[in-house]
Amino acid sequence: MKKLIFTSLIVLILGILSACGGSNNETSGDGGSTSESGETLKLRAATGSVQDHSSYKGLEKFKEIVEEKAEGAIEVELYHSGQLGDDRAMTEAVQLGTQEMAIVSVGNVTPFVPESAIVEFPFIFPSNEVAYEVLDGPAGQKILDKFPEKNMIGLGFWENGFRNVTSNVQQIETAEDFEGLKLRTMSNDVHIDAFKALGANPTPMAFTELYTGLQQGAVDGQENPYPLIYLNKFFEVQKYMSDTQHVYSPYLVLLSKNFYDQLTEEQQGIVKEAAIEAGKYQREVNQEQVQEYLQEIIDSGKIEFTEVSEEARNEMKELVQPVIDQHSDVVGEDIVDAIYDAVEKASK
């Protein structure tokens, strides 16, 4: 009998506590909320790119929207230039919950979510407009849906851009020119296998170490969109650049699931909508920067720029196709079919 009374008391106490406890936050009505202690929730968001890069401009827009709509319940702290580490380190921190948000190249995230590799398959997107339509639609959502099981939330895709090769050895105008090139790549098996198929010697290296790696000759070349080649001054330690446009690189907006689960429903909506709205702005800024910084690089006279012919680009496509076929098996038929169908539809 005593045991029954004791157990009933425990259940009663737990029931009272849970009624008082609820979520970590008490909603003040229209998105504004604070945690039970009244403390503001801190959201640390970082990019590996420098402050002038469009990814940081996008974070500034994200901060403006979230802090206005959350009415002080969420404080966004911004970081840039790898201050919180390179993409891999930031992705690990977001997964662990020690960092709330990161803007990272999908190419650096594939070790965490292999299915995401498809969006950086060589030559899969014919234009940035097609990429936007596919990534922002149901096919792109299929990839974002793979992140919660890895303790992360994929809020959406921003833009890094079409990647182009720079080198200190020779101009890369045809597939043969890749022969023996010690090329820095992201930590991405698809890119490593693709550049091997082109005859290069791919060398994964953190973005934060890349400038020194080029300057000291640890690697002969790299591949990135023009804004990063300009803003990180790679063009000053390279002799040749060509518009290979071999991969379209989206940025992923990664959010800690631990943090997301703390938010009220209203706050989750605010953060999601802010990422989408800031992403539209970031893509516009990035497109402007692609044009502006390509011209700055050419006008600098510090690097020899060449355009790649369609014939040469088609030869590269043929050489990397077996790699795409092999890695499509890793991504899985459902996502592969969805992405390629969406690309075909958006390209019409």
Which CB sits closer to ligand TK8, 90 or 339?
A: 90
Asked whether position 34 contacts ligand TK8 by CB under 6 A, the answer is no
Residue among 59, 117, 152, 186 that touches ligand TK8 (CB under 6 A): 186
Three-state secondary structure readout of the chain: CHHHHHHHHHHHHHHHHHHHHCCCEEECCCCCEEECCCCCEEEEEEECCCCCCHHHHHHHHHHHHHHHHCCCCEEEEEECCCCCCCHHHHHHHHHHCCCCEEEEEHHHHCCCCHHHHHHHCCCCCCCHHHHHHHHCCHHHHHHHCCCHHHCEEEEEEEEEEEEEEEECCCCCCCHHHHCCCEEEECCCHHHHHHHHHCCCEEEECCHHHHHHHHHCCCCCEEEECHHHHHHCCHHHHCCEEEEEEEEEEEEEEEEEHHHHHHCCHHHHHHHHHHHHHHHHHHHHHHHHHHHHHHHHHHHHCCCEEECCCHHHHHHHHHHHHHHHHHHHHHHCHHHHHHHHHHHHHHHC
Least separation in angstroms between CB 251 and ligand TK8: 7
Shortest distance, position 154 Cβ to ligand TK8, whole Å: 15
Q: Is 31 in the site for ligand TK8 (CB under 6 A)?
A: no
User: Which of 25, 160, 203, 282 touches ligand TK8 (CB under 6 A)?
Assistant: 160
224 lies in the site for ligand TK8, by CB under 6 A: yes
**Residue range at the interface with ligand TK8 (CB under 6 A); choices 31-39, 59-67, 104-112, 126-134:** 104-112
Minimum distance between the CB of residue 36 and ligand TK8, rounded to whole angstroms? Answer: 37
Among 87, 177, 189, 220, interactor with ligand TK8 by CB under 6 A: 87
Cβ-based burial of 243 (10 A; exposed 0-12, middle 13-18, buried ≥19): middle
Q: Which is nearer to ligand TK8, 104 or 339 (CB)?
A: 104
Q: Is 267 an interacting residue with respect to ligand TK8 (CB under 6 A)?
A: no
**108 lies in the binding site for ligand TK8 (CB under 6 A):** yes
β-pairing verdict for 101-105 and 240-256: antiparallel
Is 71 in contact with 104 (CB distance < 8 Å)?
Answer: no
From 3-11, 47-55, 267-275, 291-299, give the range in contact with ligand TK8 by CB under 6 A.
47-55
- For position 159 contacting ligand TK8 by CB under 6 A, the verdict is no
Kindly report the backbone phi and psi dihedral angles of residue 294, in degrees, each rounded to the nearest multiple of 5, phi listed first: -60, -45
Q: Which of 188, 249, 264, 328 binds ligand TK8 (CB under 6 A)?
A: 249
Q: Closer CB to ligand TK8, residue 160 or residue 166?
A: 160
Residue 228: CB minimum distance to ligand TK8, A: 5
What is the nearest approach in angstroms of ligand TK8 to the Cβ of residue 329? 25
| Residue 105 in contact with ligand TK8, rule: CB under 6 A | yes
285 vs 338, which CB is nearer to ligand TK8?
285
Query: Is 48 near ligand TK8 (CB under 6 A)?
Result: yes
Of the pair 70, 165, the CB lying nearest ligand TK8 is at 165
Residue type, 42: K
Site size with ligand TK8, rule: CB under 6 A = 13
The answer to whether 104 contacts ligand TK8 (rule: CB under 6 A) is yes
- The footprint of ligand TK8 (CB under 6 A) covers 47-49, 87, 104-105, 108, 160, 186, 207, 224, 228, 249
